[in-house]
């Protein structure tokens, strides 16, 4: 496990689990959460998978900026699909698909090299590596 020197800590608290409420200590996030209809919930509120996808997308975009090597990312887009599914053991697990558009890249191959490099340095990618399936792909 890689050791870190902590430079920032985010704290979020939940009451009520997937049918409850989340709030960060600084008050920037403060809202109800609900289970998706697809797994028996009411829907209509954000859910943990959406929060995970949003966080991963933003983090991956930051990592992409760190490895861009002069390629403009002004119109780049990172889409993260966080999949919740049943495991063979009977519980639930996550899988992630990341699709990245980099219109300013010289080619799709160059874009894929940047996406692969971002995947190596992104903290979310490091945290999930070896734990869940994560597919990364540059798209046109």
Average pLDDT, rounded, for the chain: 96
pLDDT score for 23: 98
CATH class entry, domain 1-46: mainly beta
pLDDT score for 82: 98
Q: Is the pTM of this model over 0.85?
A: yes
Residue 1 has pLDDT above 90, yes or no: no
Give which of 133, 8, 124, 126 is closest to 56, Cα–Cα: 124
Per residue in 57-96, pLDDT (tens digit) is 999 999 999 999 899 999 999 999 999 999 999 999 999 9
- Domain 47-139 sits in CATH at 3.30.300.20
Interatomic CA distance for residues 61 and 74, integer angstroms: 11
- Domain regions of the chain by residue span: 1-46, 47-139
* Portion of the chain with pLDDT greater than 70, in percent: 100
Q: Residue 42 has which token pair? A: 């009411």
DSSP string, 9-47: ---EEEESGGGSEEEETTSS-EEEB---GGGT---SSB-
Interatomic CA distance for residues 94 and 107, integer angstroms: 31
Per residue in 7-26, pLDDT (tens digit) is 999 999 999 999 999 999 99
């Amino acid at each position: 496990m890689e050791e870190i020197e902590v430079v920032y800590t985010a704290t979020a608290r939940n009451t009520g689990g997937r049918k409850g409420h989340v709030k960060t200590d600084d008050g920037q996030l403060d809202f109800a959460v609900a289970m998706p209809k697809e797994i028996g919930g009411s829907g209509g509120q954000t859910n943990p998978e959406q929060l995970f996808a949003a966080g991963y997308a933003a983090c991956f975009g930051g990592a992409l900026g760190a490895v861009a090597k002069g390629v403009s990312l002004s119109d780049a887009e990172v889409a993260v699909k966080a999949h919740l599914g049943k495991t063979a053991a009977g519980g639930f697990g996550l899988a992630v698909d990341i699709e990245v558009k980099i219109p300013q890249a010289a080619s799709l191959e160059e874009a894929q090299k940047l996406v692969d490099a971002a995947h190596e340095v992104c903290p979310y990618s490091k945290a999930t590596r070896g734990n869940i399936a994560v597919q990364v792909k540059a798209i046109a």
